[in-house]
């Protein structure tokens, strides 16, 4: 892994962290309303996986999807505008934090419904296979989704029909406020999927370099074998489940122990040891990240809301347009 790639991973994680920290701050100022689920602590997963993907590849995510959207190419301007409910948002201000979507970037959204993106990802991958398209399909979900019946229906179909999709489980050990070991009798998630004929492995989700390398191997397997693959990323969210969560289910000591394994700090330390990063270069990266995010917030703040006259827009597709597009 060359120096430039490591710097790219580090920079992407910083972009995610800064975006999410600003989201928390703006939420307290009521610039962002509704539910807000932050990705702080889990940055290595998004950075390590998303840096393999191309423009034509499909991505499905969860309601904790800001990071995936950003690294799929949706601009910080579009993301913050969507969080602010503005017309310039990627979903025209109609989706908010949990429903980022961009057909242009083949980012098929987050969803408030746990596990709902998994069968959709299988459908996208099946479509690509049937049409002979050279595109990967990657689906992110939490370990709580593996308690849903639709997860097993989807992976069974993917395995049975040899549908090329990468299942990425972001296991942060708490489905909302319930520990994995208290909600699922079998907590070995890789063992679970192997019962359906899927190959899979567990990965240190706090190590961006390991995530990147194992994701590469998984995607190579999918391309070569034309079969699905499952990756369990053992990671941890440093913040509560959502901004409404009183976080009574875990101790401060537990959270602090995971913070010592911060993926950004770990990679930063390694880069300094390798002389790939200097104080000057680090400051330059931080300034670039801050400039990107401040510009995005300013853009979102000054953008208009949709007018009342547009209330019924985007509900139905005109029949002629539908036939021209889909037939």
pLDDT value at residue 311: 83
In the predicted model, is pLDDT for residue 317 greater than 70? Answer: no
Q: In the chain, which ranges are E strands?
A: 58-60, 137-142, 166-171, 174-175, 178-179, 199-204, 229-234
Report all structural domains of the chain as residue ranges with CATH numbers, in order of start: 3-326 (3.40.50.970)
Are 192 and 146 in contact by the 8 Å Cβ rule? The answer is: yes
Q: What is the mean pLDDT of residues 84-97?
A: 95
Across the chain, what does the average pLDDT equal? 95
pLDDT of residue 324: 56
**Local confidence band at 97 (pLDDT 50, 70, 90 cut-offs):** very high
- Classify the C-alpha dihedral 153-159-163-166 as positive or negative: positive
- The mean pLDDT of 208-229, rounded to a whole number, is 98
Query: Tokens 């998303």 map to which residue?
Result: 50
Lowest mean pLDDT among 91-105, 194-208, 231-245, 302-316: 302-316
- Give the separation between CA 167 and CA 18, rounded to whole angstroms: 27
Q: What is the pLDDT of residues 265-279, one digit of tens each?
A: 999 999 999 999 999
Q: Are 82 and 93 in contact (CB under 8 A)?
A: yes
Tally Cβ neighbours within 10 Å of residue 310. Answer: 12
């Amino acid at each position: 892994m060359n120096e430039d790639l490591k710097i790219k991973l580090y920079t992407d994680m910083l972009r995610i962290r800064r975006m999410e920290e600003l989201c928390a701050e703006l939420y307290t100022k009521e610039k962002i309303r509704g539910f807000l689920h932050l990705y702080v602590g889990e940055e290595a997963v998004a950075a390590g996986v998303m840096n393999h993907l191309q423009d034509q590849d499909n991505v499905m995510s969860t309601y904790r999807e800001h990071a995936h959207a950003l690294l799929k190419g949706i601009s910080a301007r579009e993301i913050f505008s969507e969080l602010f409910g503005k017309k310039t948002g990627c979903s025209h201000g109609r989706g908010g934090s949990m429903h980022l979507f961009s057909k242009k970037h083949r980012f098929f959204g987050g969803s408030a419904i746990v596990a709902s993106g998994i069968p959709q990802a299988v459908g996208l991958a099946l479509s690509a296979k049937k049409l002979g398209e050279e595109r990967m399909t990657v689906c992110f979900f939490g370990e709580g989704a593996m308690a849903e019946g639709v997860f097993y229906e989807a992976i069974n179909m993917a395995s049975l029909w040899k549908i090329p999709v990468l299942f990425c489980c972001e296991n942060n050990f708490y489905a909302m406020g319930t520990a994995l070991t208290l909600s699922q009798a079998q907590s070995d998630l890789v063992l679970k999927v192997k019962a359906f004929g899927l190959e899979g492995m567990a990965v240190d989700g706090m190590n961006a370099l390991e995530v990147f390398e194992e994701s590469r191997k998984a995607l190579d397997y999918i391309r070569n074998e034309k079969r699905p693959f499952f990756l369990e990323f053992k990671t941890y969210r440093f913040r509560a489940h959502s901004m409404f969560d009183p976080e009574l289910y875990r101790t401060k000591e537990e959270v602090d122990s995971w913070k010592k394994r911060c993926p950004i700090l770990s990679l930063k330390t390694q880069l300094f040891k390798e002389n790939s990063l200097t104080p000057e270069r680090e400051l330059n990266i931080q300034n670039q990240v801050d400039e990107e995010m401040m510009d995005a917030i300013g853009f979102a703040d000054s953008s208009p809301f949709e007018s009342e006259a547009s209330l019924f827009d985007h509900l139905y597709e005109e029949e002629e347009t539908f036939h021209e597009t889909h037939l």
